[in-house]
Amino acid sequence: MDYKTSDPHAGPRREDILPATTAAAVKVVVVGGFGVGKTTMVGTVSEIRPLTTEETMTQAGVGVDDVAGVEQKIETTVAMDFGRISINEQLVLYLFGTPGQERFWFLWDGLFEGALGAVVLLDTRRLEVSYEVVGILEERGVPFVVAVNAFPGAPVHPVSELRAAMDLPDCVPIFTCDARDRASCRDALMTLMRYLYDRAHKTPEPQ
Amino acid sequence: MSKADKAWDPGNPDRLYIVTKGCEDSNKAMVRLDLVTLIVARTETDPGLQPEHGTIVRMCDYPLSVAEISAYLTLPVSTVTVLLTDLLTRGLVEARPPARVAALPDVCLLEAVMHGLQNL
């Protein structure tokens, strides 16, 4: 890892500075399998050049040459890309593109906690990856929408078939999306917000 | 292929230990720091500060999220959290917690986000 902490000029570029009035942030996570276009989506809608945050993980070393009784530990670094969208003078939205392997998600303490929701990016060539991803989100109570990233040459399935294959309830939006297209990514986020909005309206107040 | 998917470089734990002075006790944090907690400096940077602390104070002239600080310092969020906890304890920076998102987020908050996205 390339540490630059001694660089006194480290920090945002002038054009990436948030207004002093920014009072709070919200976050949305983009999840999906390896190489499905999460980083592309984050980069497409971000107002800043996407940034990378890293986290270290300690693992017990695996090897046949270990001295008996001495456990070798290996530090590894996992990276997560993120971008930012200023909503207004007070509010800013951060978009996190989670690492491809789900076991790394929880290296970032509270990544899903307090998130407005998630966009699940789906690659129709590898549907099975998304089953697990959706399972984890459901387990953790994170609301999500499903965006099918249209890869050239990927099999095209009607949305109804994908919904059935993924066992998604009718209320969860599923739609096609091009992670390289800004308007398309914005629409994906908008669909998530409308979904959350409808949920907030439909659910009766607790007694 | 995304950078996040292929990054598997060995880290440098010794360096992280030194930066945080071996202080990993985040229990003393007065506020829980989220990836998107915004940090703003309360003072001008002081030449007497440890370099990492000084850099954070300098870059937080305007609000910056914990995730952004981690990215600009190329330090893990867990390390940055320890550094920020020191700075918060000493009153050198302030933390603006994320918008509260309950099981059902506030309708006004969602309306604001939708309005902002429309302008994108």
**So where are chain A's domains?**
14-202
Class of domain A14-202: alpha beta
DSSP state of B104: S
| Averaged pLDDT, B56-76 | 96
Is-contact A76 B8, C-beta < 8 A? yes
Looking at beta carbons, which residues of chain A come within 8 Å of B7? 52, 54, 77-79
ipTM over 0.90: no
**So where are chain B's domains?**
3-118
Looking at beta carbons, which residues of chain B come within 8 Å of A55? 76-78
Measure Cα distances from A127 to A33, A132, B8 in Å: 9, 10, 25
- Partner residue opposite B10 with nearest CB, options A18, A39, A75: A75
Q: Lowest-confidence range among A74-88, A193-207, B98-112? A: A193-207
| Averaged pLDDT, B26-35 | 68
How far is Cα A33 from Cα A102, in angstroms, rounded to an integer? Answer: 8
Is-contact B93 B39, C-beta < 8 A? yes
Q: Could you read off the pLDDT of A3-19 as tens digits, one per residue? A: 544 566 789 999 999 99
CATH topology of domain B3-118: Arc Repressor Mutant, subunit A (1.10.10)
In this prediction the pTM is 0.84
